[in-house]
């Protein structure tokens, strides 16, 4: 009798079954691991998650909902694995196992959308809730949460402080805070973080001779606010450890906190309103957080600015105000003092006639002379699209210490010294004007059009 020429087939099929089953098993194990990590995290920080979710306007951003989605997915995957995959594997049904591949891809894709749970901890909380921290009043945190949750909340506030400080350090080409270590080192406590921030502030003050202290005032104020919270926590912790806490003593502690807050005028003062009203007004608060502007003063204007940025291929989460004419003076020297080092800056101007115009450049405003920038553009808030720099044009912006920002030859946009009382001009030379208009003010005139500035702001983005 001739030997079986395909004796290797059972071995090959068994190997295929094992490989397919192992892939399902690994996916199921990973899903259970993520669920276990999230459950362990919620045992301590569940109250903080629930507290912060109350400030989320969009339900899909709720971390509680995402955790529920992870648990449901994990349960579905577990049942599918045991009811279908394991049984087919035991029976050696390779044909049906291979037909489950679309289901495997489906579960993988759903799990990939929840993969951020592998970094569950302060980093995940920051990624989910960074947009709503400005809505949360410190007093509500202290009244609603336990010590571990308040401590985590403080760490997230300090991370925000470090981000702001790093922007300033980077603008002066100084070493930044190590943000990676912040999330990777669980042993790093709030006192150590504050110490690092204060050291960086001292380095900044020692290395920059003409440093404007106003740039650091908001950071110092936020550190003071955090200090008030820590004093409150220390007093409360002492009461708990002495096991003598009564309703009257807690009331007295709350009074002490109120006195501390009254003593220290908070940098970010939210109106004293009911929490529900804060949430109802979150759209306005969100705009103010994204862009602190006296010109872009409603969501419609902000949407238009965001659309212009998208047209230029840029995605911006927030704008950092660097210069405002009404606050810093309309003199050219004030503009250059605040903005000479800036790259990636957006200039926004409101004329005395109410026109809102401006421009963007990746170049800084230091020195004197023309600067090339193929990514520069201008805008008029009433126009449907941005005015891009003409291809090959070498004269995107002109830096001059005796003028404000100047865009284009001719000039497409020129902001003069003392622009609120002296004429500025708009023409059309270096930038592409569309729709039959000849200049940034959407007029058909080919000559320079004079105007005066009511307000001017420059943001780094």
Residue 279 has pLDDT above 80, yes or no: no
The pLDDT value given to residue 242 = 52
Note whether 330 and 416 are same-domain residues. Answer: yes
Is the Cβ–Cβ distance between 408 and 431 less than 8 Å? Answer: yes
User: What's phi and psi for 411, nearest 5 deg?
Assistant: -125, 150
Note whether 411 and 313 are same-domain residues. Answer: yes
Note whether 337 and 362 are same-domain residues. Answer: yes
Cα separation of 151 and 461, whole Å? Answer: 31
Average pLDDT over residues 71-76: 92
Cα separation of 84 and 80, whole Å? Answer: 6
The pLDDT value given to residue 210 = 64
Domain extent, residue 69, equals 9-121
Average pLDDT over residues 21-49: 91
Higher-pLDDT residue of 76, 290: 76
Average pLDDT over residues 27-33: 92
Does residue 150 lie in a domain region? yes
The pLDDT value given to residue 44 = 87
Average pLDDT over residues 16-32: 92
Sign of CA dihedral 291, 295, 301, 306: negative
Chain-centroid distance of CA 347 in Å reads: 21
Among 266, 301, 336, residue at a domain's last position: 266
Note whether 410 and 319 are same-domain residues. Answer: yes
Higher-pLDDT residue of 244, 131: 131
Confidence of residue 280 (pLDDT cuts 50, 70, 90): very low
Note whether 116 and 137 are same-domain residues. Answer: no
Does residue 279 lie in a domain region? no
Angle at 174 between CA 169 and CA 365, to 5 degrees: 70
Higher-pLDDT residue of 21, 137: 21
Does residue 282 lie in a domain region? no
**Percentage of the chain lying above the pLDDT 90 cut:** 30
The pLDDT value given to residue 62 = 84
Number of structural domains the chain divides into: 3
Q: Which of 383, 394, 393, 396 is nearest to 438 (CA)?
A: 383
Average pLDDT over residues 39-59: 86
The pLDDT value given to residue 232 = 67
Note whether 325 and 421 are same-domain residues. Answer: yes
Q: Cα Rg for the chain, rounded, in angstroms?
A: 29
Does residue 316 lie in a domain region? yes
Does residue 284 lie in a domain region? no
CA atoms within 13 A on the CB side of 407: 32
Note whether 307 and 456 are same-domain residues. Answer: yes
Confidence of residue 326 (pLDDT cuts 50, 70, 90): very high
Note whether 115 and 180 are same-domain residues. Answer: no
Among 198, 231, 266, residue at a domain's last position: 266
Note whether 249 and 207 are same-domain residues. Answer: yes
Average pLDDT over residues 72-101: 90
Confidence of residue 266 (pLDDT cuts 50, 70, 90): very low
Does residue 101 lie in a domain region? yes
Note whether 238 and 297 are same-domain residues. Answer: no
The pLDDT value given to residue 300 = 78
Among 101, 121, 141, residue at a domain's last position: 121
Residue 92 has pLDDT above 80, yes or no: yes
Cα separation of 23 and 27, whole Å? Answer: 6
Q: Which of 288, 57, 53, 289 is nearest to 164 (CA)?
A: 289
Cα separation of 226 and 190, whole Å? Answer: 10
Does residue 276 lie in a domain region? no
Residue 255 has pLDDT above 60, yes or no: no
What confidence tens digit (pLDDT) does each residue in 294-318 have?
Answer: 999 887 788 788 888 888 888 777 7
What confidence tens digit (pLDDT) does each residue in 105-149 have?
Answer: 999 999 988 888 887 888 888 888 888 887 888 778 887 888 888
Cα separation of 399 and 370, whole Å? Answer: 6
Cα–Cα distances in Å, from 291 out to 124, 304, 317, 318?
24, 13, 9, 6
Note whether 242 and 324 are same-domain residues. Answer: no
Cα–Cα distances in Å, from 10 out to 89, 90, 91, 98, 101?
14, 14, 13, 16, 21
Does residue 82 lie in a domain region? yes
Residue 6 has pLDDT above 50, yes or no: no
Note whether 178 and 237 are same-domain residues. Answer: yes
What confidence tens digit (pLDDT) does each residue in 355-414 have?
Answer: 999 999 999 999 999 999 999 999 999 888 899 999 888 899 999 999 999 999 888 899
Confidence of residue 2 (pLDDT cuts 50, 70, 90): very low
Residue 202 has pLDDT above 90, yes or no: no
**Picking from 58-67, 222-231, 272-281, 431-440, which range would have the lowest pLDDT averaged per residue?**
272-281
């Amino acid at each position: 009798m001739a030997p079986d020429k395909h004796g290797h087939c059972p071995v090959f099929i068994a190997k295929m079954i094992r490989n397919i089953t192992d892939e399902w098993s690994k996916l199921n194990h990973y899903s259970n691991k993520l669920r276990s990590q999230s459950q362990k995290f919620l045992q301590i920080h569940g109250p903080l998650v629930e507290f912060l979710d109350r400030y989320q306007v969009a339900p899909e951003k709720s971390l509680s909902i995402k955790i529920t989605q992870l648990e449901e997915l994990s349960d579905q995957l577990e049942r599918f694995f045991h009811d279908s995959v394991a049984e087919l594997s035991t029976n050696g049904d390779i044909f049906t196992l291979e037909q489950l591949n679309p289901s495997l891809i489906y579960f993988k894709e759903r799990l990939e959308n929840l993969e951020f749970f592998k970094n569950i901890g302060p980093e995940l909380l920051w990624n989910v809730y960074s947009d709503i921290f400005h809505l949360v009043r410190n007093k509500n945190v202290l009244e609603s949460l336990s010590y571990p949750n308040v401590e985590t909340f403080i760490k997230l506030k300090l991370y925000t402080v470090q981000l702001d400080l790093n922007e300033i350090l980077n603008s002066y080409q100084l070493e930044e805070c190590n943000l990676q270590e912040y999330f990777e080192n669980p042993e790093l406590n709030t006192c150590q973080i504050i110490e690092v921030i204060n050291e960086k502030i001292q380095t900044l003050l020692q290395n920059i001779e003409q440093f404007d202290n106003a740039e650091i005032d908001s950071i110092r104020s936020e550190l003071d606010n955090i200090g008030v919270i820590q004093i409150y926590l220390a007093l409360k912790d002492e009461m708990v450890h002495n096991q003598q806490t009564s309703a009257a003593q807690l009331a007295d502690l709350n009074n002490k906190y109120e006195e501390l807050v009254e003593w220290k005028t908070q940098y970010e003062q939210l109106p004293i309103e009911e929490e529900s009203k804060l949430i109802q007004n979150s759209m306005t608060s969100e705009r103010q957080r994204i862009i602190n502007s006296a010109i872009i003063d409603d969501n419609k204007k902000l949407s238009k600015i965001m659309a212009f940025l998208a047209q230029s291929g840029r995605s911006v989460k927030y704008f950092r105000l660097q210069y405002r004419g009404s606050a810093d003076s309309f003199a050219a020297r004030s503009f250059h003092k605040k903005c000479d080092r800036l790259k990636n800056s957006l200039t926004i101007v409101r004329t005395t006639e109410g026109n809102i115009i401006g421009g963007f450049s990746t170049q800084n405003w230091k020195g004197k002379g023309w600067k090339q920038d193929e990514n520069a553009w201008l805008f008029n808030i009433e126009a449907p699209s941005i005015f891009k720099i003409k291809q090959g044009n070498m004269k995107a912006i002109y830096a001059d210490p005796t003028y404000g920002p100047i865009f284009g030859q001719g000039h497409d946009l020129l902001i003069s010294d003392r622009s609120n009382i002296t004429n500025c001009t708009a023409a059309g030379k270096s930038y592409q004007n569309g729709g039959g208009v000849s200049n940034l003010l959407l007029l058909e005139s080919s000559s320079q059009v004079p105007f005066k500035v009511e307000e001017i702001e420059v943001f780094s983005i």
